[in-house]
């Protein structure tokens, strides 16, 4: 089959690799109908996530049709159209049983790596480095999906793949970011980053009852999208002092909740940005923290910081004093996708939300290298790229066990 493979920093290629097979009883093989490039794939692309190996298949956002199922699979049959959550969860451990799906104890076969770095492990993730299990990703014609009965969600008849492909990651990620804000009537939610997750977090915050949402970015086309799609007020952080402006907009209080939808490659302004960039380049600091520092400063007293952008390591100059003085709550982590899927599928089916509206680019899987280049440079107003594999006609399906 054809698959998008990582070959090194800013080097991805479409290679021919062996088809996946049913390896364990609970596996299914999904024939990928649609797959997306995620903002967090850009961290892999730019070489910020360790333990990538040449030839690793990328991609953790994909939907498709089941073409083979292991003997233990009971909830699905060959021919079912399915949404595949990006975290892999066993369904049997304490974390899975407590709906903390992305923190699964058993689905990361390389758990010792994260245990040594972070103190404990999270679950495996499709196509997201050996730190997260070394699973092959979904930017491919076919994918082996373990624990099918636990993770997958059926796509109701009549709903096109495009409307649900973002339910694999960024829609639930944005939704969880908003849920973590504990939104009350009258609340203002400020969102740093008007990329895909930021936009969907704004939509979710509105859906969960926020009175106002404020989008913060430096790209005018992204700010425009936040304004037109999410009815957000917008701030360009290169043009204004964000914390001061947010105070002005909220009667001197500050936003009730602040969402970080930027992550470790955040850009700031001025000397602080240069400091982070230099230290990150010299590997003295793994993550750039300018957005995170702004969140802390801007948030109202007793408010919540909801962190959904990916951070991988260490941050310097983190304003712990302000967190203490203002009594802030910090929440974050990978989305527990399984928990939100049924509800979100229902919202899509009832046309209360259409995540596909943020897809700006549609390409063939074969064009993935170009897609990565466009996305990383934020060219051509690129927000979200969906890739469609060109399954060869009469191609033999992968063998079932």
Partner 1 sequence: METSTTEQGRAYRGQAHTRVNVGPAERKASLAGGAALALSGLWSVGRRNYLSGLAMIASGGMLLYRGQTGHCGLYEAIGVDTVHTQESGLRIEKVVTIGLPPHQVYEFWRRLENLPRFMKHLASVQVTGERTSHWKAVGPGGLSTEWDAEMMEDTPGQQISWHSVGSADIPNKGTVEFKEAPGNRGTEVRVIIDYYPPGGTAGRAAARIAHGLNAQQLEEDLKRLKQILEVGEETTARRTVE
**Residue ranges binding partner 1 (CB under 8 A):** 18-25, 90, 92-94, 97, 105-112, 115, 120, 124, 133-136, 144, 146, 401
DSSP 8-state assignment for residue 256 = S
- Least gap, CB of 54 to Zn ion (angstroms): 22
Q: How far is the CB of 272 from partner 1 (least distance, A)?
A: 38
Q: Kindly tell me which of 40 and 121 has the beta carbon lying closer to Zn ion.
A: 40
Residue 256 lies near Zn ion (rule: CB under 5 A): no
191-213 core/surface letters (b: 16 or more CB in 10 A; e: else): bbbbbbbbbbbbbbbbebebebb
Neighbours of 398 (CB within 10 A): 19
Nearer to partner 1, 13 or 343 (CB): 13
CB of 307 to partner 1, least distance (A): 25
Sort 171 into a burial class: Cβ within 10 Å, 0-12 / 13-18 / 19+: buried
Single out the residue of 90, 125, 166, 359 in contact with Zn ion (rule: CB under 5 A): 90
CB of 35 or CB of 245, closer to Zn ion: 35
Contact map string, positions 91 to 110, toward Zn ion, x by CB under 5 A: --x--x-------x-x----
- Asked if residue 17 lies in contact with residue 5, where contact means CB atoms within 8 angstroms, the answer is yes
Q: Which of 327, 265, 318, 312 is nearest to 293 (CA)?
A: 318
Query: Whole-number minimum distance, CB 95 to Zn ion, in Å?
Result: 5
CB of 199 to Zn ion, least distance (A): 14
List the single partner that 346 binds among partner 1, Zn ion, none, CB under 5 to 8 Å by kind. none
Q: Which is nearer to partner 1, 106 or 173 (CB)?
A: 106
138 and 84 Cβ atoms separated by less than 8 Å: yes
115 binds, among Zn ion, partner 1, none (CB under 5 to 8 A by kind): partner 1
Q: How far is the CB of 150 from Zn ion (least distance, A)?
A: 8
Q: Which does 153 bind (CB under 5 to 8 A by kind): partner 1, Zn ion, none?
A: none
Q: Which of residues 152-191 bind Zn ion (CB under 5 A)?
A: 169
Q: Rounded to an integer, what distance in angstroms lies between the CA atom of residue 168 and that of residue 146? A: 15
**38 is written with which tokens?**
């995620």
CA distance 320 to 288: 16
Q: Which value, in Å, is the radius of gyration of the alpha carbons in the chain?
A: 20
Can you read off the two tokens belonging to residue 103? 């923190």
Nearer to partner 1, 9 or 25 (CB): 25
CB of 393 to Zn ion, least distance (A): 31
Name which of 28 and 246 has its Cβ closer to Zn ion.
28
Residue nearest to Zn ion (CB): 38
Q: Which of 3, 32, 38, 310 binds Zn ion (CB under 5 A)?
A: 38
- Which CA distances in Å does 318 have to 14, 222, 298? 40, 27, 14
Q: Which two tokens stand for residue 255?
A: 């936003």
* CB 80, CB 65: distance < 8 Å: yes
Shortest reach from residue 83's CB to partner 1, in Å = 21
* Residue 71 half-sphere exposure toward CB, CA atoms < 13 A: 4
Task: Select from Zn ion, partner 1, none the partner in contact with residue 38, using the beta carbon and a kind-dependent cut-off of 5 to 8 Å.
Answer: Zn ion
Tokens 């080097």, residue located: 11
Of 261, 246, 239, 259, which is closest to residue 193 (Cα–Cα)?
261
- Name the residues that contact Zn ion, by CB under 5 A: 38, 40, 89-90, 93, 96, 104, 106, 169
């Amino acid at each position: 089959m054809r698959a998008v493979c990582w070959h090194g920093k800013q080097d991805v290629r479409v290679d021919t690799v062996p088809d996946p097979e049913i390896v364990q009883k609970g596996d299914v093989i999904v024939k990928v109908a649609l797959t997306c490039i995620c903002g967090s794939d850009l961290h892999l692309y730019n070489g910020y996530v360790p333990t990538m190996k040449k030839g690793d298949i990328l991609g953790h956002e994909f939907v498709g049709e089941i073409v083979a199922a292991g003997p233990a699979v009971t909830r699905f049959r060959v021919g079912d159209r399915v949404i595949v959550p990006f975290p892999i969860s066993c369904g049997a451990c304490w974390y899975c049983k407590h709906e903390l799906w992305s923190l699964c104890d058993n689905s990361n076969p390389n758990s010792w790596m994260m245990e040594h770095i972070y103190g404990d492990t999270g679950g495996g993730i499709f196509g997201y480095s050996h730190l997260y299990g070394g699973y092959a990703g979904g930017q491919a014609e076919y994918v082996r999906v373990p624990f099918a009965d636990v993770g997958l969600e059926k796509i109701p008849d009549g709903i096109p793949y495009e409307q649900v492909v973002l339910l694999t990651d960024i829609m639930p990620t944005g939704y969880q970011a908003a849920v973590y804000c504990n939104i009350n009537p009258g609340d203002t939610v400020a969102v740093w980053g008007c990329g895909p997750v930021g936009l969907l977090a704004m939509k979710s915050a509105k859906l969960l009852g926020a009175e106002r949402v404020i989008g913060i970015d430096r790209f005018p086309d992204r700010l425009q999208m936040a304004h037109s799609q999410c009815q957000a007020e917008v701030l360009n952080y290169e043009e204004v002092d964000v914390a001061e402006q947010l105070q002005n907009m909220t009667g001197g209080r500050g936003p009730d909740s602040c969402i970080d939808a930027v992550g470790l490659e955040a850009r700031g302004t001025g000397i602080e940005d240069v400091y982070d960039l230099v230290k990150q380049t010299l590997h003295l600091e793994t993550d750039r923290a300018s957005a995170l520092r702004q969140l802390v400063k801007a948030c109202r007293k007793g408010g919540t910081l909801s962190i959904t952008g990916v951070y991988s390591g260490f941050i310097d100059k983190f304003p712990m004093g302000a967190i203490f003085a203002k009594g802030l709550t910090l929440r974050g982590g990978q989305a527990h996708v399984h928990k939100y899927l049924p509800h979100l599928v229902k919202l899509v089916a009832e046309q209360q939300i259409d995540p596909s509206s943020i897809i700006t680019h549609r390409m063939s899987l074969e064009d993935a290298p170009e897609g990565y280049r466009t996305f990383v440079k934020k060219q051509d107003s690129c927000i979200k790229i969906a890739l469609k594999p060109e399954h060869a006609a009469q191609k033999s399906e992968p063998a079932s066990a």
